[in-house]
Amino acid sequence: MPLAVSDYTEVIDWMCALIDAGAQGYVTAAAVNLVMSAREDIEAWRALQGATLAVPDGQPLVWALRALGNPRATRIYGPDLMAHFCARAAREGIPVYLYGGRTPDALALLERRLRERFPGLVIAGGHSPPFRELSDEEERRLVADIDGSGAAVVWVGTGQPKQEKWMLRMRPRLHAPLLVGVGAAFDFHAGLVSQAPRWMQRSGLEWVYRLSREPRRLWRRYARYNPLFVAAFARQYAAHRRNTGG
């Protein structure tokens, strides 16, 4: 999977340069869940491969990159990427759109919290979609709303890999330069779900904290994909050692 070796400053500078150039792309903050989903789901694989930039959101992915010879690899955590960019967007007047949220009320809470935290942030619009697939007419109205807002960045928080599939499908239809998938960042910034302590994030134990907070929603994901990731990477690392003579 093509994961970038970068840091927050480089990623945000790249995002702003793409906007200034009038180019188009989409970004995903990839967690282990997305990487492993892409091994089994061809549409998720296409969405991940089609991303203009995929950054390692999960700490285990950072450790894997370093073990494979990329010592500069650092975690680009979706919620922090969103926060850092919103701070810059508030200073530079870059308009953003919010697509996601558990309910319209949750999205309204997120908008209020972001405006409080980043005075001057231009939130050009937002939409909290239903959990079902949108009809063709609903998609047309959504495209018109996003394009009419004049947003330069569309933040997408509908969960992985759903949001990546949406970005792949909608990218050709939207004028906004950037679509950015940030998973649970909407819930975190709205204050609906608490974030793991930093020490747990650094130790690769964020999943334990999230599982303790939302066991019914997350247990299947972690029970399936975490062991599969460990086994798959063990095979990849063994092959890497053989090929490099390590």
Q: What is the pLDDT of residues 201-216, one digit of tens each?
A: 887 878 787 878 778 7
Per-residue pLDDT tens for 216-234?
Answer: 777 777 788 888 888 988 9
Tokens of 193: 């779900």
> Is 90 exceeded by the pLDDT of residue 245?
no
CB atoms within 10 A of CB 51: 24
Q: What is the rounded CA–CA span in Å between residue 119 and residue 207?
A: 32
Instruction: Establish whether the linkage from the previous residue to 161 is cis, with ω within 30° of 0.
Output: yes
One-letter amino acid of 124: A
- 143/145 Cα distance (integer angstroms): 5
φ, ψ for residue 29, nearest 5 deg: -95, 95
pLDDT score of 130 = 87
CA 105/CA 71 separation, integer angstroms? 43
If one counts every other C-beta atom within 10 angstroms of the C-beta of residue 151, the result is 27
Q: Do 25 and 168 form a contact (C-beta atoms < 8 A)?
A: no
The span from the CA of 193 to the CA of 148, in Å, is 31
In the chain, beta strands by DSSP E: 25-30, 53-56, 96-100, 123-127, 153-157, 178-181
Q: How far apart are CA 18 and CA 1, in angstroms?
A: 22
Q: Give the mean model confidence (pLDDT) for residues 229-240.
A: 88
The pTM is what?
0.90
- Could you tell me the pLDDT band of residue 173, with boundaries at 50, 70 and 90? very high
* Both structure tokens of 208: 């334990």
Other beta carbons within 10 angstroms of residue 105's beta carbon come to 11
The C-alpha atoms of residue 121 and residue 131 are separated, in whole angstroms, by: 28
pLDDT (tens digit per residue) in 10-68: 999 999 999 999 999 999 999 998 999 999 999 999 999 999 999 999 899 999 999 99
Instruction: Yes or no: say if 146 and 174 are a contact pair by the CB < 8 Å rule.
Output: yes
Residue 197 DSSP code: P
Q: What does pLDDT average to over the chain?
A: 92
Give the Cα separation of 234 and 240 in Å (integer).
10
Residue reference for tokens 């599939």 = 165
